[in-house]
Copies of this chain bind each other. A is one copy, B any other.
Amino acid sequence: MNLSQVGEFGLINLLKKDLLPASPGVIAGIGDDAAVLQCAGDCWQLFTTDMLVEGIHFRLDWCDYADVGYKALAVNISDIAAMGGRPTHGVVSLALPEHIQVADVLAIYRGLREMAGLYQVNLVGGDTVKSPGPLVINIALLGEVPAGRAVYRSGAAPGDLIYTTGRLGTAAAGLYVLSHQVNCSPSLKEQLIKAHLRPVPRVAAGVLLAGLEGVSALDDNSDGLAAELREICSASSTGCLIWQKALPVLPAVSRLAGRLGTDILDWVMNGGEDYELLFTLRPKHRRAVEEALQRAAVPFTAIGVMLPAGEGLLLERPNGVREMINMRGYNHFAGSPAG
């Protein structure tokens, strides 16, 4: 069977079922943003890894080496944030094509170091090998969360409200600007490209949410809203309803999409890489959680509500019509375009 027939999620399910049994000391293994490990003391340890491959996740004619290092660490930090944790220690593996220069490798590390400095991550080791093909960077990252406080994808229930931090679709707009000749102001272009190349993981928001009552599920928006909703709904055995009118998008991004004849919903649902946090909330905790987010100056928007599983994953159009959410969120091996 070909990989595109099972897809990334199908593969994870195969692996979970047959090959990677649960073990003592492992509070949560494969299948969430990070594994959760028992450890001595009053913290749980988080452990995640993400690999970026040249030509799939980035193109060196669209970014520089420092951007690659920066983003590779940022997406791992976002996985820790998506469990409600803080990152602590990381290791970096690089497969380097023959032609690469020492200055290029040092630039990758400058990007890594910049991101590491922003989030107090200690880069403590790594491996550097030759590649006969693309540049590959893999990071494995540890984090910590107070014992009992990790937030999974699986805790949502029908009736819970669905929120996102920040704005959606900005990174997808940045990718579009990088990959097309787009006529827009240099400052907007720069802002959108930065959103794509230099995402800002929501660690403070994740830590805050993990400490609040009523936050029932948490995920980071790496693969597009549609894919993340599917993950939460699948893990929680629920459906969901998203209100299109509520989706937070930068006005300049909406206007750009309109001008280009692109469906803004496609950028939001399928673009991914915004690295915002998607979370669900028991309605009775709504006021307390919203006030806490406001006090912490974390931008957030309620974008929908969880439904019973039988309802499926629905989008309410501005005219009130409900339709199934189109599942084209980025999924390795499913043949959709790279982000």
Contacts and interface: CB of A to CB of B under 8 A. Distances in A.
Interface string A20-51: 10010110011110110101111100011111
Interface in A316-339: 332-333, 338
Nearest to A10: B102
A109 to B, nearest CB: 4
A3 B56 contact: no
A103 B1 contact: yes
A25 B34 CA distance: 21
A110 B332 contact: no
A301 interface: no
A95 interface: yes
A53 B5 CA distance: 25
A106 interface: yes
Contacts of A113: 19-20
A113 B49 CA distance: 18
A102 B29 contact: no
Contacts of A133: 55, 131-134
A42 B40 CA distance: 9
A122 interface: yes
A94 B138 CA distance: 10
A100 B333 CA distance: 10
Interface residues of A, number: 77
Contact of A20 (B20, B56, B96, B123): B123
- Looking at A8, A103, A136, the one whose CB has the most chain B CB atoms below 10 A away is A136
Contacts of A128: 8, 11-12, 332
Contacts of A129: 51-53, 56-57, 332
Nearest to A19: B109
B131 A35 contact: no
Give how many copies assemble into the complex. 2
Interface string A35-79: 101011111000111111111110000000000000000000000
A204 interface: no
B57 A124 contact: no
B138 A106 contact: no
A222 B125 CA distance: 17
A124 B93 contact: no
A134 B54 CA distance: 12
Contacts of A50: 93, 127
A1 B104 CA distance: 10
A293 interface: no
Given A3-B101, A47-B89, A53-B130, 7 more contacts: A2-B102, A19-B109, A20-B109, A30-B123, A50-B127, A53-B136, A129-B332
29 contacts: A1-B101, A1-B103, A3-B101, A6-B102, A11-B105, A14-B102, A15-B109, A20-B109, A25-B122, A26-B122, A26-B124, A30-B124, A35-B89, A35-B91, A37-B142, A40-B41, A47-B124, A47-B140, A48-B91, A49-B92, A51-B93, A51-B95, A51-B136, A51-B138, A55-B133, A57-B129, A130-B333, A132-B133, A138-B138
